[in-house]
Amino acid sequence: MKDDQQFPRPEVPERVAHLMHEPALAALHNHTINIRRETARQIIRLLDDREDRQREVARDHIHYRRATAHEANRHAALLLETTEQTATAILNSAEYVREHLP
């Protein structure tokens, strides 16, 4: 079954499949999927913001470019409610996926 975004719904893991007979739990499972998709959209927007900032300062001094990237990662950490190290890893992973996977 496809949802309104035309993405196939993820399969329900076997360990929780028996819970899907309860309407409230099935609704909670669907809500969790929607939250994860919204988080993915947020990460994409944060990555776009970081790339836009890096393009703006591409011709500036290396220290200014690094400070700009650090600031973008810090803002991402605040918005994702995580550490700067984790936010940087998330954005770097998303960037790798965007550049290297179909």
| Average pLDDT in the chain | 91
Tell me if 6 is assigned to some domain: no
- Which residues have CB under 8 Å from 40's CB, separation 6+? none
Tell me if 7 is assigned to some domain: no
Tokens standing for residue 32 = 């969790």
Tell me if 37 is assigned to some domain: yes
Residues 76, 90 contacting (CB under 8 angstroms):
yes
Give the pLDDT confidence score for residue 4 in this predicted structure.
61
Task: Sort 61 into a burial class: Cβ within 10 Å, 0-12 / 13-18 / 19+.
Answer: exposed
Task: pLDDT band for 74, please (50, 70, 90 cuts).
Answer: very high
pLDDT digits (tens, 9 = 90+) for 16-57: 888 889 999 989 988 998 999 999 999 999 999 999 999 999
Give the pLDDT confidence score for residue 81 in this predicted structure.
96
d(CA 93, CA 87): 10
Tell me if 8 is assigned to some domain: no
Tell me if 40 is assigned to some domain: yes
What domain range includes position 35?
14-100
Q: How many domains does the chain have?
A: 1
| Statement: residue 1 has pLDDT above 70 | no
